[in-house]
Homo-oligomer: A and B are copies of this chain.
């Protein structure tokens, strides 16, 4: 039974952000942390709505147990920060990197933290910053953990982002014909998505917006992380494998398809079928309570039984949210249960040198009763064989 979702395009309310902060503070309490320091721009965006690139001038969010969080930023960024942040914050401003003796970022940073405190740090925090942190350090990925279960607001944003990639994928299938260049496809697909983003969210934050549209034609589709050459040509037959992904004003989603131009080579029929069944098997297990490593294990075993065990080169799926790749993971070694309002990709894949790659990926919401696909595009062998 499918639930009714509503696409959301407006920025988060102060309430949404303060609820996220409260979740972080609940975990801080459980772990007896007096402070939590966030450095990862994705986590800072999640809590403040301010997006930036990491460079030599550090940006640090200092969360205390109770009073307003403090944002340590270079002076140059204050106006930018204020134009985007949508939560309560105090600023700690340093002038520049580097700066005169006694006026560097760490001089200001160290004044914010009691030396007898227990301080939680992200595992992504650079050791150069960790070494300047006062107090007793505990590494704990509290904000990352908070991000795993999506709020209703986030689900609405992700649902909207999926409409953007659905559109990109539609353009890709329309334009992808033998001899068409990678570069031309990239332009058409990303332009279509960017137009929709700008129309739907005129004030979109381009520091948190990015679009990709690419196809791995059959000669390289067995190697999914190779970057196709921009003058690479699409070919007759297949398997071609497409990636259409976007970060839409802060929300990352993807849709990927294996497809054929004109005809399906004989040797591609069986692996396509096995990939398709592996996918059906994955979906059959998606509901709250299923252990994620078990999904991956069963899917791998299924593919191996069908003779393609040597051609599995990645996990069955990964989480999506503020980024297009994050916890949770449908992977052996990740022994936690699926929960309602997680968003994951479902993408078991088979990659056979000499034949090609076989992978569909969708962005999928875990619901109370099971799952709901948020992306939509042709799926069956018949549907993904484009007649010329």
User: Which residues of A pack against B, CB within 8 Å?
Assistant: 55-56, 75-77, 79-80, 83, 96-101, 103-104, 121-131, 137, 139, 183, 198, 202-207, 223-227, 229-231, 313-315, 318, 325-327, 329, 331-334
Which residues of chain B are within 8 angstroms of A226 by Cβ–Cβ distance? 79-80, 83
Interface of chain A, helix or strand or loop or mixed?
A: loop
Instruction: Look across to chain B and name the residue whose beta carbon is closest to the beta carbon of A207.
Output: B227
Q: Which of these, B183, B313, B329, B333, contacts A76 with CB under 8 Å?
A: B313
| Residue pair B332, A100 in contact (C-beta under 8 Å) | yes
Instruction: Look across to chain B and name the residue whose beta carbon is closest to the beta carbon of A126.
Output: B124
| CA A275 to CA B165, docked complex, whole Å | 46
| CA A103 to CA B75, docked complex, whole Å | 45
Q: Told that A56-B318, A75-B313 touch, could you supply 4 new A-B pairs with CB distance under 8 A?
A: A79-B223, A99-B333, A127-B127, A206-B230
In the complex with contacts A130-B127, A229-B203, A333-B100 CB distance below 8 A: yes
| Residue pair B331, A80 in contact (C-beta under 8 Å) | no
Instruction: Look across to chain B and name the residue whose beta carbon is closest to the beta carbon of A40.
Output: B126
Instruction: Look across to chain B and name the residue whose beta carbon is closest to the beta carbon of A314.
Output: B76
Which residues of chain B are within 8 angstroms of A99 by Cβ–Cβ distance? 331-333
Which residues of chain B are within 8 angstroms of A101 by Cβ–Cβ distance? 333
A83, A183, A226, most chain B CB atoms within 10 A: A226
| CA A35 to CA B129, docked complex, whole Å | 22
Instruction: Look across to chain B and name the residue whose beta carbon is closest to the beta carbon of A323.
Output: B55
| CA A122 to CA B126, docked complex, whole Å | 9
Which residues of chain B are within 8 angstroms of A121 by Cβ–Cβ distance? 127
Instruction: Look across to chain B and name the residue whose beta carbon is closest to the beta carbon of A203.
Output: B229
| Residue pair A333, B104 in contact (C-beta under 8 Å) | yes
Which residues of chain B are within 8 angstroms of A203 by Cβ–Cβ distance? 229
| CA A206 to CA B187, docked complex, whole Å | 14
| Residue pair B230, A80 in contact (C-beta under 8 Å) | no
| CA A143 to CA B331, docked complex, whole Å | 34
| Residue pair B139, A131 in contact (C-beta under 8 Å) | yes
A55, A56, A77, most chain B CB atoms within 10 A: A56
Least distance between A201 CB and chain B CB atoms (Å): 10
| Residue pair B205, A230 in contact (C-beta under 8 Å) | no
A98, A129, A326, most chain B CB atoms within 10 A: A98
Least distance between A112 CB and chain B CB atoms (Å): 18
Least distance between A38 CB and chain B CB atoms (Å): 13
Least distance between A137 CB and chain B CB atoms (Å): 8
